Amino acid sequence: MSEEVSAEILTTHILDLAAEGKRLDGRAPDEYRPVTVEPGFVVTADGSALVRIGDTAVVAGIKLEPGKPFADTPNAGVLTTNAELIPLSNAIFEPGPPQPGAIEVSRVVDRAIRAAETIDLTRLCVTPGEKSWVCYVDVHVLDHSGNLIDAAALAAVSALAHATVPALRFEVAEADYPLEVVHFPIECTFVRLGDTIVVDPTFDEERAAQGRLTVATDEAGRVVAMQKGLVGAFSPDDVKGVVRRAFQHGERLRALARGGSA
Amino acid sequence: MGSVGAKEVPVLLSPDGLRIDGRRLDELRPMKLSVGALHNADGSAFVEWGANKVMAAVYGPREVHPRHLQQNHKAVIQCKYNMAAFSVDERKRPGLDRRSQEISKVIGEAFESVVFAEEYPRTSIDIYIEVLQANAGTRCAGLVAASLALADAGIPMVDLLPAVAVGKVAGKIALDLKKEEDNFGEADLPMALVPQSGRLVLLQMEGHMTEPELSEALDLGVQGCRAIYEKMKEALRERYAVGPVGGSS
**Residues B110, B132: Cα–Cα separation, whole Å:** 22
**Percentage of chain A surpassing pLDDT 90?**
80
Domain tally, chain B? 1
pLDDT tens-digit map of B185-236: 999 999 999 999 999 999 999 999 999 999 999 999 999 999 999 999 999 9
Domain interval for residue B113: 31-237
Which residue on chain A is closest to B212 by alpha carbon? A240
Q: Count A/B contacts: CB-CB distance under 8 Å.
A: 114
pLDDT tens-digit map of B132-160: 999 999 999 999 999 999 999 999 999 99
Q: Of A81, A198, A178, whose CA–CA distance to A138 is shortest?
A: A81
A206: in domain:
yes
Task: Characterize the bridge pairing of strands A164-165 and A177-178.
Answer: antiparallel
The mean pLDDT value for B88-102 works out to 86
B21: in domain:
no
Beta bridge partners of B13: B19
Q: What is the identity of the amino acid at A258? A: R
Q: Give the mutation candidate from B189, B200, B213 for the A interface (greatest A CB count, under 10 A).
A: B200
pLDDT at B5: 45
Q: Could you give the residue ranges of the DSSP H alpha helices within A20-163? A: 100-115, 148-161
B174: in domain:
yes
**Residues A162, A260: Cα–Cα separation, whole Å:** 9
B195: in domain:
yes
Domain interval for residue A194: 33-259
Give the CATH number for residue A173.
3.30.230.70
**Residues B25, B220: Cα–Cα separation, whole Å:** 10
pLDDT tens-digit map of B4-54: 444 577 899 999 999 999 999 999 999 999 999 888 889 999 999 999 999
- Which residues in chain A are contacts of B104 at CB distance < 8 A? 100
B206: in domain:
yes
CB contact set of A2 (below 8 Å; sequence gap of 6+): none
- Which residues in chain A are contacts of B102 at CB distance < 8 A? 100, 103-104, 107
pLDDT at B2: 44
Domain tally, chain A? 1
Q: Complex ipTM above 0.90?
A: no
pLDDT at B10: 86
A19: in domain:
no
Average pLDDT, chain A: 92
Chain B positions with Cβ closer than 8 Å to A: 1-2, 4-6, 98-99, 101-102, 104-106, 109, 112-113, 189, 194, 197-211, 214-215, 218-219, 222
pLDDT at B244: 72
B167: in domain:
yes
- What would you measure as the largest C-alpha separation in chain A, in angstroms? 64
- Which residues in chain A are contacts of B189 at CB distance < 8 A? 226
Verify whether the Cβ–Cβ distance B208 to A115 is below 8 Å. Answer: yes
Q: Give the mutation candidate from B1, B3, B4 for the A interface (greatest A CB count, under 10 A).
A: B4
- Which residues in chain B are contacts of A231 at CB distance < 8 A? 109, 112-113
Residue of A111, A233, A243 lying closest to B113 (CB–CB): A233
Give the CATH number for residue B73.
3.30.230.70
**Residues A179, A87: Cα–Cα separation, whole Å:** 32
